[in-house]
Structure 1
Amino acid sequence: MLGRLLKYEIKSTARIYLPLYLLLFLTAVINKFFLSVNSENLGIPMAISMTAYVTIIVAIVVITLVITIQRFYKNLLQDEGYLMFTLPVSVDANILSKLLAAVLWNIASTVISFFSVLVLSVDRDMMGALVESWREFQTFLAAQDFAVHWIIFQSIVLILLSLVAGILNLYVAMAIGHLVQKHRVAASLGAFFLIGLVEQIAFTLFIELAAKSNWFYFLHGMNPVDQAQWLLTAAIIVVAVLGAIYYFATKYILKNKLNLE
């Protein structure tokens, strides 16, 4: 059932994202044409086109965040929630379908924006330099031991986990906000900032306590590669624990405390 929900979620949101991605590439190609012509007579059209390109990138960033919030808020916490929670679908499936789709579109928006910049900026010389840099990078990796490859893998895992935890942070804040009877949007915002404040206080206290107790003194005897591995592992564990707390708190509220509008 999760697969069906995820397919529906992607299909529903693709109608918004795909036209934006296409429009972004079209403006990138147009700007690339203007840059290649480099004519003073095209100064105004080029300025307009470049402004449109930057505006679309900003719009993609904003819309990706808005849709990430809206799909969860509207489908599970407002009137549509009556339908979603009467279907023979678990709370886990409802949350995960929103989460996985949000992760997918956040990654897609980042990748598409990056490639549009390449389309806009890369010329023949730069393309050759990029190809050569990629070959040098592959040669560098081939010459490294397992530890460096593991660091790269850990970094990717940390980035993905941070994205998941960030989205779940939004979800749990919205779920907490809906525990109150009035001003739920304001309550959700308050919950979001309160969660961030609690995390910041806990992190600061932990760092101060660790510094006073010399908990991380053993890192001084490690080489830089081992230090990086240890720190990345610790960061992955912390982010994973936070994500799990957000997830299960959201699930508990939706399952036991939900009060739909």
Structure 2
Amino acid sequence: MFWNLVRYEFKNVNKWYLALYGAVLALSALIGVQASSLKSIDTPDQQMIMLVFLALVFGGLIITLSISTLILIIRRFKGSVYDRQGYLTLTLPVSEHQIILSKLLGAFIWSLASSLVFILSIYIILVLTGANFLDIFSLEYLFKFYMDSFWLSVISYILSTISGILCIYLAISIGQLFNEYRTALAVLAYIVIQTVLGFVGLNLRIDIDYNWMISFEIVKDLILSAAFYLGTYYILKNKVNLQ
């Protein structure tokens, strides 16, 4: 039944999100082609205008991609758990753990897809513009100084993403405890949580070296993920207040 819930997460996602990924990659190719044509522009003013235009277009793409992924994560959890669809979800022969984990897995995959699309779009732009970044930052340098920490960075990314998603779930769950202004209170709960974490993080900052910093972030995200998950689970199991 768990995997049926996971498949449902993808089956009911609007195809608009997939179209957005395709549009980002297609427009990245267009930006790369346009950027490569800057070599033929002799007037500095024209070159600067074109560069500003390309930067604005790409920035808009990244913002759109980030916001759409965030909205997708929020809608898939709030809509199918705490709104009217929640009546159906909570009557299924599944546990609260399965509901949360299926939502989390779906949200993580969409977040990962967005990150990969972002990285691929940058790669497309660099390749089409003929940028010599690999000459500036040689692969030998990157492998020597960063590949030792590659897997730590991957683990940190995974846990950071999971922690961020679960924080959103907890904020939504806190907001639904109230009868009115649920969305506003969920946003407020998220802001308060992030403010407290930011303040604590400033006082616990680790600057010994990169590996120590990443290891600290991994431990921190593990603790936060567990706390956010347990808080969401408790509310979903004991304090559900469906509209």
Say which is worse superposed, 62-71 or 11-20, in terms of deviation. Answer: 11-20
* Counterpart in the other structure of 1:170: 168
Kindly indicate which of the two structures has a greater share of residues assigned to helix.
1
Are 1:248 and 2:230 counterparts? yes
Cα distance in 2 between the residues matched to 1:25 and 1:229: 33
Cα distance in 2 between the residues matched to 1:249 and 1:242: 10
* Counterpart in the other structure of 1:194: 192
What is the deviation of 1:81?
0.3
* Counterpart in the other structure of 1:106: 111
Relative to structure 1, the CA distance from residue 231 to residue 33 in structure 2 (aligned partners, 3 Å threshold; closer, same or farther) is closer
Contact 2:62 2:118 in 1 (8 A): yes
After TM superposition, the structure 1 = structure 2 runs for residues 44-123 of structure 1, keeping only pairs within 5 Å, are 50=54, 52-123=57-128
Are 1:233 and 2:215 counterparts? yes
- Unpaired segments of 5 or more residues in structure 2? none
Number of positions where the alignment pairs a residue of Structure 1 with one of Structure 2: 234
- What residue identity is the alignment partner of 2:179? Q
- Unpaired segments of 5 or more residues in structure 1? 211-215
Cα distance in 2 between the residues matched to 1:191 and 1:63: 21
SS at match of 2:92: coil
Percent identity between the aligned chains? 30
Cα distance in 2 between the residues matched to 1:190 and 1:125: 46
Contact 1:79 1:260 in 2 (8 A): yes
What is the deviation of 1:104?
1.1
Are 1:259 and 2:233 counterparts? no
SS at match of 2:12: helix
* Counterpart in the other structure of 1:213: none
Contact 2:29 2:128 in 1 (8 A): no
| TM-score between both structures, scaled by the size of structure 2 | 0.81
Relative to structure 1, the CA distance from residue 88 to residue 127 in structure 2 (aligned partners, 3 Å threshold; closer, same or farther) is farther
Relative to structure 1, the CA distance from residue 89 to residue 127 in structure 2 (aligned partners, 3 Å threshold; closer, same or farther) is farther
Deviations 1:228-251 (A, max 9, x none): 544433332221111101001101
Deviations 1:63-98 (A, max 9, x none): 111111111111111000000011111111111111
Deviations 1:178-203 (A, max 9, x none): 11111111111121122233334555
Contact 1:28 1:119 in 2 (8 A): yes
What is the deviation of 1:56?
2.8
Contact 1:27 1:49 in 2 (8 A): no
Contact 2:33 2:128 in 1 (8 A): no
* Counterpart in the other structure of 1:129: 134
* Bigger Rg over Cα: 1
| TM-score between both structures, scaled by the size of structure 1 | 0.76
* Counterpart in the other structure of 1:5: 5
Deviations 1:145-195 (A, max 9, x none): xxx73x332222122111111110110011011111111111111211222
Cα distance in 2 between the residues matched to 1:48 and 1:236: 37
Cα distance in 2 between the residues matched to 1:17 and 1:2: 24
Relative to structure 1, the CA distance from residue 13 to residue 133 in structure 2 (aligned partners, 3 Å threshold; closer, same or farther) is farther
SS at match of 1:122: helix
- Out of 158, 161, 165, the position equivalent to 2:159 is 161
Cα distance in 2 between the residues matched to 1:71 and 1:137: 38
User: What is the CA RMSD across the aligned residues, in angstroms?
Assistant: 3.3
